[in-house]
Structure 1
Amino acid sequence: MAALAAATGGALGAPAAAEGGTPPGRVEFPTHCLPPQEAGLPPADGPTTARISVADPAPRVGDTVTVTYQVAATPAVNPIGGELPAGVLTPTGRVRLAGAQSGEVTVVGAEQGDAVPAGAPLPAVTMTGTFTVTAPGVTTLAPGGYTLHTAHLMDLDTVCTPAAPAGGPPADPDEPAAPATPVSQRLTATPLPEANLRRVFLGTAYGRPGARVEATAAGFPPGAAVTLAGRAGAAETADRVAATADGAGVVRAALPVTDRTTTSVVAYEGPAWSAGRGSGPAAYTVVAPAPPPPGTRKVTATVEAGDLAMTQTGEDIALGPVPYGEGGAATGRIGTVTIKDARGGPAGWSLIGRVSDFTGPGGVRIPAGALSWTPSCTAAAGSPSPCAPGSAGAVGADGAVLAATPDAPLVGGTFTVDAEVALQVPPYTPPGAYTALLTLTLS
């Protein structure tokens, strides 16, 4: 686990493709705007032109997604009798989620807006917010109501809510179910792959034919039906025993090994071993009891399986600074991670990284989904396994694959893993150091 630190700054992600608007994602819906009582103005009814975009239209479950709600045109007007100065308009609003995930996202904006003459419509505004993806599948995003707060001479709120289409019932802001608004954006979430933590350990690494080997398997679901089986390379032998995992997911059983071709033992759920539901192999050698011929001596050498382990160069990760007010990417590298796979057998490995939110001065946070990386992985000369880097993209709180090797009849080797990282820091993030924890899990 390593700490990451970055200075302030950042940029909004590019909007995803939309549904038929120009520009993409732009929609229009009828709106009923109530001016503040102090203004003495009648309600304003008319179309709102809006657009919703997301920083990542293809997140994984658990990712934090940044949503931007832009109001390009509104029927709301300047609520004071004179000119409204620039930079005194603060918007807040809601974005509606439906489909795989439902609910609302609160979005807010900083003080903004050009000067507005008396009686003229209020200017375009931009609001942002975040939400956590909780379900895989397609989620639609549609604009909801918004409030335009002006802070000049006095604090005034103009509240705008979606209205029923022409000819329909009037919108009532007190009703829990507001009129539907057009979908402006979609995102498709994918489930996060789970790490396989199943392992098997043997009480001894060799024995005579027919010996009972004490085996312990761990990392299985409590109560799972587990098979312990002998293997000769990638093929199973006749040696096997069934057992049930206890409440801690641990299996203990004695496996009779009678097949002289058995060279390792695996444990798995289901009818056959698979990379997702089975353990890697634990080496075992069957030692034949036949006496050597007169005048000869038998020489036996045992290749013992080792471990899957990693080491990392350096400790904390310092990202480059970002100018206050401009935002942008704070970049750096995670530092070299060396993985040594000396287990033998058919099971590959995967290295997954997870990152927490970045916390800065006064508890200000930058979401974990703002950190992305571009992984790299190199296998040392002579390594039986090739090494594949993970996909470039967001890391997030629930993680992403940094590197992996595939299953094969014989795997192993030494591998060098690294990644370029970039933290997208929003504009006008308060100055200071922002720190998060990056956790790497090898399985």
Structure 2
Amino acid sequence: MSEALPKLLIVEDDAGLQRQLRWAYEGYTILAATTRDEAITILRAEEPPVVTLDLGLPPDPDGTSEGFATLEAILKLAPATKVIVASGHFERESMRRAIELGAWDFYQKPIDIDALGLIVARAFHVHALEAENRRLAEKAETKAVLGGMLTGAPEMLKVTRTIERVAGADVSVMLLGASGTGKELLARGLHEASPRHTGTFVAINCAAIPETLLESELFGHEKGAFTGAVKTTEGKIELAQGGTLFLDEVGDIPLPLQVKLLRFLQERVIERIGGRKPIAVDTRIVCATHRDLDAMVSEGRFREDLYYRLAEIVVRIPSLAERPGDAGLLARHFLTRYAEQMKTGPKSFAPDALAAIDAWGWPGNVRELENRIKRAVIMAEGKTVHAEDLDLAPGDAAAINLRAVREAADRQAIRHALARSDGNVSAAARLLGISRPTLYDLLKAYDLQA
């Protein structure tokens, strides 16, 4: 069976020009419409990837209002469609408005069949690439790792495999990493992968609670234990009975309270503030901090015995800058999420935005990336996010020279190139200065995925 030809929808009210265009494009299945309603009906039934649209449609054949209304209707129904707008009224304002509304390209009548043919062919090519990129992104998202974390970086996959291995062992785990690297997400993933997953996951940020209240938050209090204690209240440790307690920023726990926490870890019993009765609690402790606990122990600001109780297993989490390719993957995820939430906004990243995302150091890690993408969804004027929308300087788009580095640097360079090219192998190969088959060979040799 022969392969079906790609579908091209021609929206043109001039019957003669419509026939001319039909004859000119032998490599496509031609669909034709003369009005907005006909175009939308065909779009719903046939889903053509590319549309050529005349702005002068009835009932406004001498103007552009109906053409722009048709453009908006097409992109509202099928945002991925590449719409090539034609007009006999060559005005910069019409061209600008068409592009702002999401048109893929604009050309002026009278039509040059050869030139238009090149535009149409390029539109089909780009549509196919974008469809493949969306497929790969969806594949990546459906294979989200521990705790729903999105990553393709070997550095982070190694972390998730370590956490999965220790999840089944009833030991305390310490996660070390900078703020915004996903420590709570990994802690929740550890809980969900452990035998305690049917229990409660309770999280508390020790740095966000005043010292005078932290003891009560952790251990609870009896009625009348202090002014304002009008009823007996269970603490976070008790609330996590049978489950997992996540102590975020454990390095901020004051020394007097460290003693009480150590006693719980040793004896697995607590006493509420104002209480005299020991209460047995079966809770697993997972903690995290961005502080240098080794230095704090040396300086006497963190108890050494508590450190070793909490750090039976230590997992170091790489920063976003140490996870080549993940910034681009996460950026696309956040763009999709916030564009859907806000029911508007851009649908993709311009090359300068992808280069800027790849080049930025992300000192605030994933939290900073998420905030910048949210800002871009609000600030972008068109359907595409640019570097300025992210409040970033345009990234260096120069090709990465693979010949100057060895295997370890090859891996990083390939991941950077794939991130900048939105996962497109051909574009990544051009960035790297190598052929597409060579890049496929390197991907296979280094066990990397596009």
Q: Do the structures match in fold with TM over 0.5?
A: no
Task: Determine which structure has the larger helix proportion and give its number.
Answer: 2
TM-score between both structures, scaled by the size of structure 1? 0.24
TM-score between both structures, scaled by the size of structure 2? 0.24
Larger Rg: 1
Task: Determine which structure has the larger strand proportion and give its number.
Answer: 1
